[in-house]
A and B are shown apart, each in its own frame.
Chain A
Amino acid sequence: MTRSIKVNHLARVEGHGGVTVEMDGRSVSSVRFDIFEGARLLEALARGRHYTDVPQIVSRICAICSVSHSISSIKATESAFGVTPTPQTELLRDLLYRGEDIESHSLHVFCLAVPDYLNYPSVVALAADHPDAARLGLRLKKLGNTIQEVIGGRAVHPVNVLVGGFGKLPTADQLMALRDELHQAAEDSKSVVDLIASLPPADYCSKDTVFAALRPKQFGYGYYSGDQIHVRLNGKTEAVPAAEYRSLANERAVPHSHAKHSQYKGRPFMVGALARLTVNSDLLNGSVADVKQKFGLNLPSGNPMDNNKAQALELVYDIHRSLETVEKLLADGLREEAPVPVRPKAGSGTGVTEAPRGMLVHSYSFDGQGRLATADVITPTAFNAASVEEHLRRAVEQNAGDDDAALTKKLEMIVRAYDPCISCSVHLVRRRNAP
C-alpha cells in the first residue's frame, strides 16, 4: 500500500517551505524538504558593486540573520584586503552577535517551538493560558533587539557596521541602560531554565549525526571570531580552515528546492546550536554548568529536537556573557576610534561566522578597485537541508504506525527544531570567474 504525506505550507518557520514523504508499506521511498521561495539572486546582483555597498545588499538575504550576513560579508572583505579590525571593534562585534542570538533564539524557542510542546498554534494562543511564559519570551526577544540597536544601529539590517569598524560607538548612557536590562534578564534566565526543563520529552528520529561549527578564537564560546571549522564525525574532531569551506559544500542542486544540498565526506551534517554545543562546549564558562543537566541534554545527541534545548542554553549563556562584556566596556571606557583605513586591492577572502541557526559562509573576490568580482554564500539552512531529510526519513521509519495527523505533526516539529531560515537558504552562488 502506498501512502504519501504532504505539508504544503510549513507554519512557524521563516519563509516558504514544505515536506513531502512517499511510502510503500513500511518502506520510505522518498523524503523531501521542499523550498518554494522565489530566487532573489542577491549575490549575483551584488557583483560589480563597490565593497562598501556589499554588506547592505547581502544583509537583505535574511532579516533574522541580518547581523550574521553583514558581518560575515565584512569579515570576508577584511580578509581579502588584509584589514585587521581593532580589539575594541572585535569585542563589540562579538556582543552584537550575542544580541542577534538572543533575539533569534527567544523568537524561535518561545514563539515557534514551545507552542508545539504544549500544543498551541502560536505564542499568542500560548499567552492566553501561560501569559508569563509568553511575556518572558517577548521580554528577552526585545533585549536582543536592544543590543542590536545599540551596537548595530538598527534591530533588523544593521547600518552601523562597516568594513574596518563602526560608524558610531555606543554612548555610556546606552550601555548603562543595557546593563540594567541585562541584570533583569539574568534574573529572567532562571525562568527560562525552569520552563525548558519542564517540557515533555520529544524524540522521534535519533540517529548518529555529524556536526560542524566554527571554532571561536577569542571571547570564549561565541559566534563571531575564528577561522577554523570543526567537524565532529564518528567521535573524532576534524579541523577545516575557513578558506577550505568548499570541502563541506560539495553541493548538488536538487529539483524540489532552490537550496543545494551539502555533505562532508559523503555524510550530511548538522549545523546550529546543537552542533556548536557538541563541538565547543569546552569553551562554556561556569554560568551554565548546571543547565545542560537540568535540560537532560546529553552530548553528543543525534536527536534534532535537542536543538531547541541547545538554543535555550545559548540564550542563557549569552545573557550572562553580554552582561560581562557590557560591564567591562563600562569599566574600561570606550576608546573613540574611527574605522581603520581600508586600502582595497585585488584578492579574495572568506568570512565564516555562526548565525543563530548555524554556520554561515561568505566568500568573495575583488578587483583592484575594490569592486566585487565573485561571491559565494552558503547559509546554515543550505548546510542543513540534507541532514533535515535524513532525520525526517528516520522519523517516518520509526513512526510508520502513526496516523497521518500524528506523523505530520512530528515531521513539522523536526523541521522547526532545525530552525530553518528559508529566505536564507535559497541564496547560493556557484563560484564562477569574473565576467
Chain B
Amino acid sequence: MAKPTLGVFGLTGCAGDQLVILNCEDELLELTELVDIKDFLMASSGNDTSCQLDVALVDGAVLSQRDEDMLKRIRERSRLLVALGTCAVWGGVASLDRNQDRTRLLEDVYGEMGKKYDSLPARALHEVVNVDLSITGCPIEKDQLISAVASLLQGDPPLYPKYPVCTECRMREYNCLLIERGEICCGPLTVAGCQARCPGLNVPCVGCRGPADDANVESAMNMFGEKGIPREEIAAKLRTFAPAWGVNV
C-alpha cells in the first residue's frame, strides 16, 4: 500500500509548531518511513506543491490575503486538515489586535508605507475553512503531536483533555499560585495537556493553550474576585492568546 501523503504549512506565526515537528529528533526519520512528506517548505526545497494530500498540518493564523488564498488552496488538496497551535486553532497572540484599529497600528509600525501592506485582522483557520482536527498549544506539545499522527495513521481521531490546567496542577500536587500567592494564574480556564508546565515551575499560567471546554468560568471568576483581582485584568490576560474565552466583563 502506498504511504499516506503529508504536507506541512505555515501561515503567519512564529513557525513554532513546525519547529516542534522538527524537534521530534528521535521520531523524525522513523516518521518518514511511515508517511510520505510531499510538501514542507521550511524543511525541504524538493516539494510537490500541487499533489493531493491525505493530511495537511497548518500552523499560524490568517493575517493576509496571501494567507487566506494559501489556506483555501491547502484545503482543496487535502483530505484532512489539522490546525496546529494556538494561532491556527484560536487566532493566537496576533488576534490581540481584534479590538484595535489595525490601520493605525500598521502606520505606527511602518509609517506611510504601512497602508500599502497586505494585512488583515487575525483569524483562526476554522473561520476561513473547514478544520478536521485541532491541536492547540503555543507551541503544541510534542506528545500530543505524535499521538495525533499515530491515531490518524490508524484512522481514528486522538482524544485530548477538555478539563483545565488546574486539574493537572492538582493531580501533580503543585502549590496553587492563585490561592496561596494571590497571583493571576489562568490555569482554571485554560485547557490542559501541558502537564501544568508553568505552575510546576512556580510561574502562573498565561493561558497559552486557549480555553478549556469543561472550565467552570463563573466559579473561576468568583475565585479571582475573592482574591481581589479585577475582572478586566483577568479578561485582558486571557485575551493574550485567544479572543474566544466567553469571559464577560
Contact = CB atoms under 8 A, between A and B. Distances in A.
A14 to B, nearest CB: 5
Nearest to B118: A38
Given A38-B119, A63-B16, A167-B202, A430 B208 contact: no
A183 interface: no
Contacts of A202: none
The range of chain A's interface size is 35 or more
A156 B16 contact: yes
A253 B109 CA distance: 10
Contacts of B23: 141-142, 145, 155-156
Contacts of B47: 11, 121
Contact of A53 (B109, B198, B240): B240
B110 A159 contact: no
A135 B94 contact: no
A139 B208 CA distance: 28
A157 B118 contact: no
Contact of A159 (B10, B29, B198): B198
B45 A122 contact: yes
Interface stretch (A123-131, A286-294, A340-348): A123-131
A11 B44 contact: yes
A13 B42 contact: yes
Interface string A1-23: 00000000101111110000000
Contact of A11 (B19, B37, B45, B120): B45
Contacts, number: 186
Contacts of B78: none
A333 interface: no
B171 to A, nearest CB: 18
A167 B203 contact: yes
B52 interface: no
Contact of A41 (B37, B94, B116): B94
Given A60-B93, A253-B111, A41 B105 contact: yes
B117 to A, nearest CB: 6
B33 to A, nearest CB: 10
B142 to A, nearest CB: 8
A57 B93 contact: yes
B92 interface: yes
A49 B40 CA distance: 36
A157 B198 CA distance: 12
A432 interface: yes
A222 to B, nearest CB: 23
A40 B94 contact: yes
A200 interface: no
B144 interface: no
A272 interface: no
A66 B42 contact: no
Given A38-B63, A45-B97, A53-B237, A159 B13 contact: no
B240 A57 contact: yes
Nearest to A103: B23
Contacts of B25: 138-139, 141-142, 145
Contacts of B139: 63, 156-157
B159 interface: no
Interface of A: 9, 11-16, 36-45, 49, 53, 56-57, 60-64, 66, 107, 111-112, 115, 121-125, 127, 131, 134-135, 138-139, 141-142, 145, 153-157, 159-160, 162, 166-168, 253-255, 258, 260, 412, 423, 428-430, 432
11 contacts: A12-B42, A60-B14, A64-B19, A122-B45, A156-B19, A157-B16, A157-B208, A159-B198, A159-B201, A168-B202, A253-B111
Given A53-B237, A63-B15, 18 more contacts: A9-B41, A12-B44, A15-B15, A38-B12, A39-B117, A40-B93, A41-B105, A56-B206, A57-B93, A60-B138, A121-B46, A121-B47, A124-B37, A125-B46, A135-B29, A142-B23, A254-B113, A255-B113
